[in-house]
Structure 1
Amino acid sequence: MFKLLLGIFLISNLALAQESDTVLKAEEVPIHSILSEAQILTLHEDFTYSHHVDRKIVVVSPEGLDHAFTRLFYDKLNSVEEFELEVRDLTSGKTIKKARLKDMGDAAYYSTSTIFDDNRYKYFEVAAAKFPIEVSIKSQVSSKSNFFLPRWTPVPNFNQKVTEASLTVKYPTRLGLKYKELNLKGNKKEEELAGVTSITWSERDLAAQPRDFDSDEDPRLLLAPVKFALDQYSGEMGSWSGLAAWQFELNQGRDVLPEDFKEKVLQLVVGVDDPYEKVKILYEYLQKNFRYVSIQLGIGGWQTMTAADVVKYSYGDCKGLTNLMKAMLDAADIPSNYTLVFAGSDAEDIEVDLPSNQFNHVILQVPTSSHPIWLECTSNLLPAGYLGDFTKNRHVLVTSKGGGNLTKTPSYDTEEWNEIRSQSKVILDDRGNAKINTEQQFFGNFAAYILYVKGNLDERQQRDFLNRNSSVSGLIVQDYRIEVANQDSLPVTELAFDGLLQKFSQMTAKRAILRPFLGKLGPSHLTNKSLKKVDEYEIELPAAWKVDGDLPRVSLEEENLKGLLEMAIEGKTLRVRRELSLKIPTELDKEEEAELLRKINTAFDRTVFFVNTTTTQSTSPANE
């Protein structure tokens, strides 16, 4: 009987492994592992929870070993309670590895931006020399707070087929639970017994995802409590206002300034009446005197340092610096609001219909009679009122006493925030080599990038940047300068450089060919869906050059796009002006944007021909 059962076991699991080959042929997506998994999330009356995971992974190739890697995070709020692992060789049926909690490695978790935190993780890595293998894993973690509930993603890895996956959430009915289902196509079962609600979501036969899989189509489940507690601070987030009120209470009383520092703040704005000027002065003082250090200590990294400690140590994280800036403005009788945001240059917006903890960063909102002044208090480069791409165009939660509200940060998608102007003087010699002097002005989003170059790259790296980003390849920068010329909240940078360029034009026996030098547009020009670009050239030609044919002229005018290229000869000077203005519709996909770029670049890719009269005269019959 034992042999019979073992044979059935091996056949069924080998069939799973062989199934991957069939699916691979059908879908042309490599399958490295096959997963079946059941998770149980149990929420308790005291606002704690336990999370149990039971999974089996059939690893069919070396690449699938990463899918069997286990990482369990813990800190002051979370603990690892259980871990059991067994690895079987599916060909022989033998157990080749067992592990328990004591066998796991332990490491500190450091993000790329965090200096101080108390986050660690337990881990276990599976190794194997031949395949297929089956990895069975049971784990359980516990948390002291239901404020941070895990999301459920039935397909956790690329190139992984899921035969079945389920999540059961059990919670005291009186505490409440909110959830949002995204792309789930399976079954849901809900029941209540003795004051406890149980909901089970089940998914089956989910296809392997390629690495270019659209994350918007990923099946997942978002969870959030209604009543919650973090440390001794309890609250309700049945609405955004409830979460905002809780956050305000969490920081209550932590904005008190030392008296001597408060006096310094008041002295900085003596005689200044304009509200923006006051904000600007205090913000620049913060930028110059306090540095950003990411700190994730304490109750989930949600409560700010005191303003007094930030003053004492001259550093703080986003919470501490924002709280200090708020306290400084309060001292100057300027109200402001501590604001939660989900930040990141490529981050998606939050789910606005699911009031919950969806934030990872803090900024400051200063209300005015017209529009708010937004402050990114971790930046020592950006002007007051400009957030940059880290937090632009996001729904944010403005907190205030007793509540708060969702609003949206600026999108910076109009021309004034996306403009580049360039003026170049070029002196050509008889061999087509050039001396170039260029002055550029960058506005808004483009200026913010140049601010990064100025503030974060050394001289060698800055020269490399100029060489790489020249409109014509081969530029050798001899001298340059970068200056900041902000216009209130609009970032403005001025970049000037002198350089040499061999073979700016190509020479033949009788002609000189001025190759395209205006610079092509690339995807980075369209990042913010808007662009105004003006390029002007004053090119001093050799005395012996005469224009051969008509000078190019280009005019483009259609919906959302205007472009003009004009050239004129004045004595021995060729004057060139190109002006582009475009607004990209938000519904335009990447391929359509690429096609638009090709269209624009092709239209302005023009060559100018000159006759070299010196060469022509030396080879004419009269001179033979």
Structure 2
Amino acid sequence: MRLILTLFCLILLINIAKSDELPSSEIVSLISHRQIKDNKLTINDTIIIQINNRDGDNDAAIQIAYSKGDKLSVGDAWIEDMSGNIIRKLKSKEILDRSSISDISLYEDDFVKEFELKHNQYPYRVIYSYKLTLNKFVQIASYDYRNKRLKIKNAKITVETTEDQPIKYKQKNIDAPQKETSLQTIRYTWQFGYEPLLREMNASVNNSNAPLLEIVPLNFIYGVSGSFENWQTFGNWIYRLNANRDQLPESETKKIDGLIEGVTNDRDKATILYHYLQDYNRYINVTLNVGGLQTHPAEYVATNRYGDCKALTNYMKAILKYAGIPSYYTLINMSDEVEEIDPVFASQDFNHVILSIPFGKDTTFLECTTNNLPFGYIHSSIQNRKALLITENNSKLISVPAQKPVDVLCNRSIKTTLNNDNSANIAMLITRRGEEYESSNYLSKNINKNVVDKYMRNNILTGSFDLINFDFIKTSRDSAQIQLDVQCRMHSVSKKFGNNISITPYSLKVPFYEIPDKRKQDVQIDYPQYYEDSLVYDIPNTTISKVPSNVQIITPYGHYILQFKAKDNQLTVYKSMLIKAGNYPLAEYGKFYEFIQQLRNLEIKNYYIEVL
């Protein structure tokens, strides 16, 4: 099931140059009335959007999403000027109705009604309303404005239910609701506004000042009956929804028998079957009926050789079961940022499914939607967060391990031979791990010199250079690192001033953070950044007599180590830079910023040596 998507809950990219300037667009009013009656949810929404300049025109393109079986009708809609004069009304023939098929989808039961109400004189307002009735639902409302840049002057959310259909809710940065009871009806009303802060580097999503409101039914019927009483009851419902969908055709079981014949170790069996999944199946979204939450049967994948994350994970679970290896369907929120899961408020907070396999005291996690990640690799978009492990009667939140510094360590080994014209020939062996491995591993499957050249300039090597040759090296498909062997010609590496030589460093990219006086939010770094360089410079026809002083900085936020050695005409440089994962409150931001600035300054500082 796709959540109710309207303009007011989309991520809108609004450029706000200064806090006192008008945003490109803003929500003047959002009035939503949601009624639960006879196991149906009826939504009546009226939205007023103000378009302040040309950059906001895209936000006058309205989309209202719904699913098969829902009833959606668009009410009156028009453009008006700031005096309230109606400029143009929407005509029914201007409303388009289409299937909401994404680039990675084959079939979907999701649809969109869309229309545009644009004007050429600013500011102007777009007013529209709609009514949507859902026959099945597991969510009543979700308003999450973390990391969004859309100003809201006034939002009023009303939920009307009955005593026999209770709801649960949580709010953050929103006042508690006004509650009214009349006969059998209970009405909850929330009101809030939102003035977004300027975007900041690694701003904490979990300590944001943005409004957050989630409302769910305590009990519901969606495919089968379920409950949000706690995470166990919700997970048990997921189990029942997907029960008995693990049957495999005989042709598939024969293949499995052949693949694991003579293999006795369960981990070895699981690795072989995971490779089989990767080699013969592909990810594509297929959303039909209750397909947003219910998996397609394992037989479907075995026959068609494709599926979404649910179907591929269920299929992997089924072939492991046939091989005698227990595993568990596991819900997780896959995202670049780690969003905390409330341990006491169960809701549909997940957008992805992985597989958990217990091997003794250890658990292996499998990402079943990719054909190029190693067996058991925990990638950056699922690491360090809670997930919901699904069992028949004892579903529970579990912790997916965080990437440690050793898991993300990226090395550069660079041999530089200086030429008389200040250019240099360099040979590099680059080892990538963690997120850098993930992007490089993907890149290696689509090798193109122009693409690699661009990747090098953006991620590995600064300065002016020509890429001469490159080669990706991966020792095995289950290695969580990849190497890139590169030869380049640098245009300008050094300058000589008498007996002094200035060498431009191969700088690492250090994130840019706001100065402490401008910073408004806590820092959240979800995984460490760890780099080591081993650099050798050959300087012909010289003997090095003096090198720079060594540097060592150790702080709670990470470290920086820089060491120099010289022998004859060869300068050796060792560098280690670590920025730790962590959540750093605004109160200590000054110390964190000081550390980051030290790194930035050291990374752009030339190496000065003396020669004979």
**Which category of TM-score, normalised to the shorter sequence, fits these structures?**
0.7 to 0.9
Q: Are 1:117 and 2:114 counterparts?
A: no
Q: Partners of 2:484 and 2:512 in 1: how far apart?
A: 18
Deviations 1:483-510 (A, max 9, x none): 223696x6121221122223322234x3
Q: CA deviation at 1:580?
A: 3.9
Q: CA deviation at 1:190?
A: 2.8
Give the alignment of 1:91-490 within 5 angstroms.
91=83, 94-99=85-90, 101=92, 103-111=94-102, 113-130=104-121, 135-152=126-143, 160=151, 162=153, 164-185=154-175, 188-194=178-184, 196-203=185-192, 206=193, 208-209=195-196, 212=199, 216-230=208-222, 232-346=223-337, 348-412=339-403, 414-456=404-446, 458-485=448-475
Q: Tell me the amino acid that sits aligned with residue 273 of structure 2.
A: L
Which piece of structure 1 moves more, 353-362 or 110-119? 110-119
Out of 16, 41, 48, which is 1:49 matched to? 41
Q: 1:497 to 1:246 in 2, by over 3 A?
A: same
SS in 2 for 1:485: coil
Q: Partners of 1:479 and 1:157 in 2: how far apart?
A: 43
Deviations 1:124-149 (A, max 9, x none): 32233446656543321111112232
Q: Partners of 2:259 and 2:275 in 1: how far apart?
A: 11
2:565/2:572 contact within 8 Å kept: yes
Q: Tell me the amino acid that sits aligned with residue 422 of structure 2.
A: G
1:556/1:564 contact within 8 Å kept: yes
Partner of 1:9: none
Q: Tell me the amino acid that sits aligned with residue 537 of structure 2.
A: I
5+ residue gaps, structure 2, are 1-15, 514-523
Q: Partners of 1:345 and 1:111 in 2: how far apart?
A: 20
Q: Tell me the amino acid that sits aligned with residue 346 of structure 1.
A: E
Q: Tell me the amino acid that sits aligned with residue 193 of structure 1.
A: L
Partner of 1:20: none
1:70/1:125 contact within 8 Å kept: yes
5+ residue gaps, structure 1, are 1-23, 614-624
Which piece of structure 1 moves more, 322-331 or 528-537? 528-537
SS in 2 for 1:388: coil
Which structure has more relative contact order (CA 8 Å, sep 6+)? It is 2
Q: 1:83 to 1:101 in 2, by over 3 A?
A: farther
Partner of 1:519: 507
Q: 1:565 to 1:221 in 2, by over 3 A?
A: closer
SS in 2 for 1:151: strand
Q: 1:98 to 1:400 in 2, by over 3 A?
A: same
Q: Are 1:608 and 2:608 counterparts?
A: yes
Deviations 1:230-251 (A, max 9, x none): 2x42222211111211211222
Out of 569, 572, 575, which is 1:575 matched to? 572
Q: CA deviation at 1:355?
A: 0.8
2:547/2:565 contact within 8 Å kept: no
Q: Partners of 1:320 and 1:221 in 2: how far apart?
A: 31
Deviations 1:71-95 (A, max 9, x none): 221221322134112444564x654
Q: Tell me the amino acid that sits aligned with residue 602 of structure 1.
A: N
Out of 76, 83, 97, which is 1:84 matched to? 76
- Alignment TM-score, normalising by the size of structure 1: 0.83
1:243/1:403 contact within 8 Å kept: no
Partner of 1:13: none
Q: Are 1:495 and 2:493 counterparts?
A: no
Q: CA deviation at 1:110?
A: 3.7
Q: Partners of 1:535 and 1:155 in 2: how far apart?
A: 37
1:189/1:201 contact within 8 Å kept: no
Q: Partners of 1:367 and 1:382 in 2: how far apart?
A: 19
Deviations 1:1-34 (A, max 9, x none): xxxxxxxxxxxxxxxxxxxxxxx9x972416556
1:56/1:134 contact within 8 Å kept: yes
2:229/2:346 contact within 8 Å kept: yes
Deviations 1:523-545 (A, max 9, x none): 399965434433222332212x2
Out of 539, 542, 559, which is 2:540 matched to? 542
Q: CA deviation at 1:351?
A: 3.5
Q: Tell me the amino acid that sits aligned with residue 597 of structure 1.
A: I
1:180/1:221 contact within 8 Å kept: yes
Structure with the bigger percentage of helix? 1
1:29/1:209 contact within 8 Å kept: no
Q: 1:88 to 1:402 in 2, by over 3 A?
A: same
Q: Tell me the amino acid that sits aligned with residue 458 of structure 1.
A: N
1:227/1:236 contact within 8 Å kept: yes
Q: CA deviation at 1:336?
A: 0.3
Q: 1:470 to 1:71 in 2, by over 3 A?
A: closer
How much identity, in percent, do the aligned residues show? 23
Q: CA deviation at 1:364?
A: 0.5
Q: Partners of 1:459 and 1:442 in 2: how far apart?
A: 18
1:30/1:159 contact within 8 Å kept: no
2:461/2:507 contact within 8 Å kept: yes
Q: Partners of 1:561 and 1:33 in 2: how far apart?
A: 40
Q: CA deviation at 1:552?
A: 3.4
Q: Partners of 2:116 and 2:178 in 1: how far apart?
A: 33
Give the alignment of 1:588-607 within 5 angstroms.
595-603=594-602, 605-607=605-607
Partner of 2:63: 71
1:159/1:210 contact within 8 Å kept: no
Q: 1:48 to 1:242 in 2, by over 3 A?
A: same
SS in 2 for 1:217: coil
SS in 2 for 1:81: strand
Q: Partners of 1:99 and 1:472 in 2: how far apart?
A: 53
Q: 1:476 to 1:57 in 2, by over 3 A?
A: closer
Deviations 1:316-368 (A, max 9, x none): 11111111111111111110001111212236233333212122111101112
1:149/1:224 contact within 8 Å kept: yes
Q: 1:486 to 1:373 in 2, by over 3 A?
A: farther
Q: Partners of 1:357 and 1:465 in 2: how far apart?
A: 37
Q: Partners of 1:154 and 1:38 in 2: how far apart?
A: 16
2:142/2:214 contact within 8 Å kept: yes
SS in 2 for 1:171: strand
Q: RMSD over aligned Cα, in angstroms?
A: 3.3
Name the larger-Rg structure.
1
Q: Partners of 2:593 and 2:147 in 1: how far apart?
A: 32
Deviations 1:350-387 (A, max 9, x none): 33332121221111011122221000000112111112
2:412/2:534 contact within 8 Å kept: yes
Q: Partners of 1:27 and 1:42 in 2: how far apart?
A: 38
Q: Partners of 2:338 and 2:231 in 1: how far apart?
A: 20
Q: 1:486 to 1:191 in 2, by over 3 A?
A: farther
Q: Tell me the amino acid that sits aligned with residue 506 of structure 1.
A: K
Partner of 1:17: none
Q: CA deviation at 1:436?
A: 1.5
Q: Partners of 1:262 and 1:161 in 2: how far apart?
A: 56
SS in 1 for 2:583: coil
Q: 1:288 to 1:114 in 2, by over 3 A?
A: same
Q: Partners of 1:332 and 1:69 in 2: how far apart?
A: 52
Q: Tell me the amino acid that sits aligned with residue 430 of structure 1.
A: N
- Alignment TM-score, normalising by the size of structure 2: 0.84
Q: Partners of 2:52 and 2:462 in 1: how far apart?
A: 50
Q: Partners of 1:94 and 1:531 in 2: how far apart?
A: 55
2:334/2:352 contact within 8 Å kept: yes
Q: Partners of 2:187 and 2:22 in 1: how far apart?
A: 36
2:544/2:568 contact within 8 Å kept: no
